[in-house]
Structure 1
């Protein structure tokens, strides 16, 4: 079954579950607001702002439905889990959200971008995890809460429409370009699945992995043993044609064959305003007159070349270059513009030599010794060599006595 048909089937099943169990979700929501929340407030002695934040989460009927679905629509299990989530949110989620990462790890495409089923799109670049700070866990918790809030706002705007089922999930586009096995951090996804996913269940409808090659098979083999079966069933490796069937090109950045601007342009950080600081050179233009100056000095920066076997090389086996304006989100480009076979053969030969050079050196040394011995036997026949035995050490004189 093709990817588009599978996504459509999953969507239809989810819509049917929502219609059949909406009443149970609303009943659970009422119980949580009337009975569970007051107990949590008394237990933790929360202030009014914290109570309002917890009440806001409980007021999100879609989140309550996703929680109920995670526990197979068993209200008692969902009720217990919701109580734990309330305590967790009060203790772990920050009161004010502050971006702790210079490079966004999870990118949410503009509101007009959506898949063929109308779901918003997220982009995760694995290469961005290499530059993640020590606060990445707090950042991911903030991101999960922000994504939940955005879904709730989107559904509140669309509530006037005649849609049967609200938007419950995102489609996630995972870009593997630049991902290396040496950079794979098993602890982070393990922590995320154990700590974050149970508190924000069912928010992903599909995980579409792009720019995947044989070099990433090691990373995927690790992830297969970490991800639960429910998540693995949502993972797809689409071709470009299948990707454009799942997500229209009008909703994709240019990086993935779409018509939207590139990711770096969509999520470019704002430049500081020129009015906040005026340099001496800029002051010469404040009176409307340009100061005569000499020709501008142009500094030519040579793009550094990265070794073909470097751990920072996303095209392992081929030399790449770094742009002078390289950022943490940028990906190095091929040094010669393409993957040449001679570069790959050179890398394979280099790796073979690094592994076997000692044994090869010993082999050549033995061959040289055997050659010299054979050459010596030709120049000095055996009967003449016996005359030199008295000059040899004791074991060789013993051999002569035995003869």
Structure 2
């Protein structure tokens, strides 16, 4: 059997789907790295909503996907940008997601960390232009962070202090970041993960940490950590700049981990060098979950070459999903979850399934199939053909 796939220029090419998936099994817990997958949410396809409506979530399918990740030994990074925070999922939906997922994690013994932000005081979705209407004084921003931190800590999950669009808009300079983050770290019950999300993921975060000069921003970021090293478990860096991440992790205080969020360069960053390595908190480990887990278990044995041989071939798919505009990578992640049988439909909160083109989907399918990611290749082929038919591509 073959399938005709459209290219960017409108031409069709023939792809022969593989017959069998990559053989992957669950195994022992990881010993050399801490690895989180930032997980997507499954929309309720029967909800009568518009793109501006509060998110309607299929809770059963959403939690089932988290159990899938936990079964392979991965931690779940919950209510992050992969879950469409600020792009379809509002704070009320995120709070419910945190409570439900944290309870599920406790029931199955899974590791979970949850995003803490300020999105209850922002209005207006981040659209294709990157425009955003923000509101909130520094005091309101602090209180918004506190409210969300309390929800996460009460759920029993670890907190991830996310970058705030409101703070990016309101801060007058580095001192405001030092004050807000210092206050939150002093009151946090347990060590948190700090998240630096670059503007390629969210244009509203341009100039975060008080400067568009990344060297100056890095110094402020490190000043926050240096003032409270006992309250920082680690940092998640999502700047898509491998050398900057390496330089930053070498400057961290002892005991503070670096969790790579670089979906372009993760194999080399996780493998590390003679001066250290990165742990992982990655959106690409949503579709790559079982394969990524297999690779980390190989790395646990000290086999760096075997780890790279498994993970390096996945980078082309990741770079494709995260291509500019990078913030729409969630669409490809959910698309692959549908093809993999983790959900019965390709619908997203906020209607974000429309954010990528048919040629983009076709290439994502081709690359994922080549890697053997689909547990049932025949199902993935059938669903891909159904999508193609909706666009008028006949086989």
- TM-score class, shorter-chain normalisation, is under 0.3
Query: Which of structures 1 and 2 has the bigger CA Rg?
Result: 1
Counting strand residues as a fraction of each chain, which structure ranks higher? 2
Choose between structure 1 and 2: higher helix proportion. Answer: 1
TM-score by length of 1: 0.27
Question: What TM-score do the two structures reach when normalised by structure 2?
Answer: 0.28
